[in-house]
Amino acid sequence: MRKTSDIDVLSEAEAMAELEQLAKQLGQANQAYHGDDAPVMSDDDYDRLKRRNAAIEEKFPELKRGDSPSDQVGARPSDGFSKVTHAVRMLSLGNAFDDDDVTDFDGSVRKYLNIGPDTPLAYTSEPKIDGLSLSLRYETGVLVQAATRGDGSVGENVTANARTISDIPERLTGAPDVLEVRGEVYMAHDDFAALNARQSENGDKTFANPRNAAAGSLRQLDSGVTRKRPLRFFAYAWGEVSEPLSDTQYGAIKRLAELGFSTNPLTQRCNGPDEMIAHYRSIEEQRATLGYDIDGVVYKVDDLALQSRLGFRSTTPRWAIAHKFPAELAWTRLESIDIQVGRTGALSPVARLTPVTVGGVVVSNATLHNEDYIAGRDSRGGDIRGGKDIRVGDWVQVYRAGDVIPKVADVDLEKRPKDAQPFQFPETCPECGSPAVREEGDSVRRCSGGLICPAQAVEKLRHMVSRAAFDIEGLGAKQVEQFYADGWIAKPADVFRLRDTYGSGIQQLKNREGWGETSARKLFDAIDEKRRIDLARFIFSLGIRHVGEVAARDLALHYLGWDALTQALDAARPAALAHRAADEAETAERRVAQDEGRRARIAEVRAAAIAGVAPGDVAQAAWDDLIGVDGIGPALAASLSDALANPDERTAIEDLAQQLNIQPPDAPAADSPVAGKTVVFTGTLEKMTRAEAKARAEALGAKVAGSVSAKTDILIAGPGAGSKAKKAAELGIDTLDEDGWLALIGDT
Ligand code: IVH
């Protein structure tokens, strides 16, 4: 088998052939293991092939197969991980569902311990985090093992993955010689939403909720994948300890915090059921704004000596109980399905529901994701909800978690009205009537109307004035919508012409609802103030698909000027088209191979229509330079290229640029030895993550590229560096190890 490091020099054809081979080998291994109960491959070999497959897919995202083994994680549950027998069992908790259950819990504790009703008895009360539990074993202060709960006695060894979680310390100072720290791995709402957005942009599967995302991310055979997932950890318990952490639960949590763990700030000591229930109510009120999912409150007897007297029933402790929140699920009727059109033209179906209370909040709208979701299919054509489609008139189950947008999770076929019809997803934009097109591999149908589509135009304007873009005081989403509706602002540049066009307009503006002379004058001043804008913010403000804040900054740092960027994009255009053509051709081939006649022909026709563009050397070099920018992949580059090549959009963008004074990125510290240098990181970094290394380098004015070329000035090669190091040596490029690099930038 080839080494992972040679992937950089694989040609597309080689990569495609190898991915095919890997899909076959791994498919056979899965079948042999599951279907035939007769494994043909060791776990190690299986993992290695899977990692190889993932690495090739990362380098050639466009070659990822419909039947990629990467999407079959979980098909081989847990066998990829070695087993860990817990020194102290990991148990679950009994449940309380109402206030009486809480009083009963206190009564049963007192009864067991023979404590009268008048003797004070303290409990801790803390949120029950909705994630998955993890046990971390430290020996002489060093993290040696991390294990999932598994069946409580035997869990999975996920040590490599746990090490990628920044809330989990590698080393502890002043800890007992043996310390097992237990707690919950979870994903915050923001991170969950961003992860799902990324997954769907890449055509990967999305997660139903943050808990699934956390579980799926922690239980990855490739810790490189876990590293990219924003997991967090709250410590709330312990297993084996060589000396007690404290004599109270509250004290022990405090000690864990002192040792460097994140502990939940809502943990509180309560004197009896009344205070516990009051704290439960207070946590319930804060639930929607915590930023992560919780599903109840856990009460624990505070005195650890009493805890050990109380001990355990077969699977639950006598000294603790979980007071659950009411279910965040409810059934209601789907009254209609509306289609909303977003900034990039995406048509999003929204369920209009007969209002229903879900976990204490009234819900009347919920997302239906996309047309496949409504039809009961996932992005790869497999079934979801057992293939049940969703129809107007149906009785549907609504799911809400924290402040995540509610979604329609299920449908009750028994209650389906006889005349209910399958939902016809529109093929034209409901806002402007332009064709709504669904590209190969995209789960989303998009309006092709661009700025002539009022919905897209308004969304683009809202994006343009958002905080991370122009951030104009007094001009928020609401005002932009109002101006658009009134015809004062039709396209981006109009914002900066408001004073000229409507300058006397102060008069007109102040007569409008919500505006007075002062606020009108202030608005025009605030707009003028933002004519001077950073290149990165400007690029981000354009609202081009795939181009987020980070990519905009990477582009700004690389091209340093708007003119340089547009010239490069113009030069690269033929290569961008060739990229699209190759993509289509590849899809056509795959469809033929998979015997999907009709769809194969569509792709063939599309491919033929744009084929025959042979990019010249200049175009190819400009394209290679663009996708060589670290963080800029072919999909993003092609999207950017398409936007600038669309005549209407180009005119609108240039018109806007005319109104502005676009600033190059800040000059780096003059004394930085790496200012203006192009650097490439390869191999494993040991002192910091790749993301941190990149940020440091950029802060010092360096450009970070993803691959080695003649333009590379410095290669920083950690252990495991392969073909990049070889190429750098051939090109005579300076190569440093991580320490050498840190010494160069004066960071030791
Ligand atoms: S204490 C012996 N505290 O809930 C009991 N568990 O339903 C140890 N959980 O498996 C657990 N937040 O995954 C405890 N603050 C908290 C918790 C918590 C979430 C989870 C944990 C446990 C499950 C039991």
Q: What residue's CA is closest to ligand 1, atom 15?
A: 128
Report CA(128)–ligand 1 centroid distance (Å): 6
Instruction: State whether residue 375 is helix, strand or coil.
Output: helix
215 within ligand 1 shell (Cβ under 6 A): no
317 within ligand 1 shell (Cβ under 6 A): yes
Share of the chain above pLDDT 90, in %: 52
Instruction: State whether residue 244 is helix, strand or coil.
Output: coil
Q: Which residues participate in catalysis according to the annotation? A: 128
Report CA(129)–ligand 1 centroid distance (Å): 7
- pLDDT of 271: 96
- pLDDT of 506: 62
293 within ligand 1 shell (Cβ under 6 A): no
Query: Three-state SS across 648-664?
Result: HHHHHHHHHHHCCEEEC
Q: What residue's CA is closest to ligand 1, atom 21?
A: 133
Dist CA 85 CA 729 (whole Å): 47
Cβ atoms 164, 223 nearer than 8 A: yes
Amino acid identity of residue 649, one-letter, is: E
122 within ligand 1 shell (Cβ under 6 A): no
By most ligand atoms within 8 Å of CB, the mutation choice from 91, 95, 126, 129 for ligand 1 is 129
Q: At CB < 8 A and 24+ separation, what contacts does 102-107 make? A: 102/273, 102/276, 102/277, 102/280, 102/299, 102/321, 102/323, 103/273, 105/273, 105/299, 105/321, 106/272, 106/273, 106/276
**Which of 29-38, 227-236, 280-289, 323-332 is least confident?**
29-38
Strand partners, 450: none
Angle at 304 between CA 298 and CA 306, to 5 degrees: 95
- pLDDT of 71: 66
214 within ligand 1 shell (Cβ under 6 A): no
- pLDDT of 605: 63
130 within ligand 1 shell (Cβ under 6 A): no
Q: By CB neighbour count within 10 A (0-12 exposed, 13-18 middle, 19+ buried), where does 589 fall?
A: middle
Report CA(127)–ligand 1 centroid distance (Å): 9
Q: In Å, how far from its chain's centre is CA 215?
A: 14
Report CA(75)–ligand 1 centroid distance (Å): 27
- pLDDT of 61: 79
Report CA(263)–ligand 1 centroid distance (Å): 13
Average pLDDT score over the chain = 87
Report CA(283)–ligand 1 centroid distance (Å): 16
Instruction: State whether residue 404 is helix, strand or coil.
Output: coil
93 within ligand 1 shell (Cβ under 6 A): yes
| Strand ranges of the sheet holding 178-186, from the earlier edge strand across to the other edge | 142-148, 132-139, 178-186, 232-241
Give the model confidence (pLDDT) of 263-276 as tens digits.
999 999 999 999 99
Residue 75 pLDDT greater than 70, yes or no: no
- How far apart, in Å, are the Cα atoms of 482 and each of 462, 479, 487? 11, 5, 9
322 within ligand 1 shell (Cβ under 6 A): yes
498 within ligand 1 shell (Cβ under 6 A): no
Residue 302 DSSP code: S
By most ligand atoms within 8 Å of CB, the mutation choice from 88, 91, 97, 133 for ligand 1 is 133
Half-sphere exposure of 465 (CA within 13 A, CB side): 27
Instruction: State whether residue 603 is helix, strand or coil.
Output: helix
pTM assigned to the model = 0.52
Q: What residue's CA is closest to ligand 1, atom 10?
A: 92
- How far apart, in Å, are the Cα atoms of 512 and each of 61, 479, 483, 485, 519? 51, 11, 11, 13, 11
More confident site: 632 or 200: 632
Give the model confidence (pLDDT) of 26-64 as tens digits.
887 766 654 444 556 766 677 778 878 888 888 887 788
Q: What residue's CA is closest to ligand 1, atom 23?
A: 92
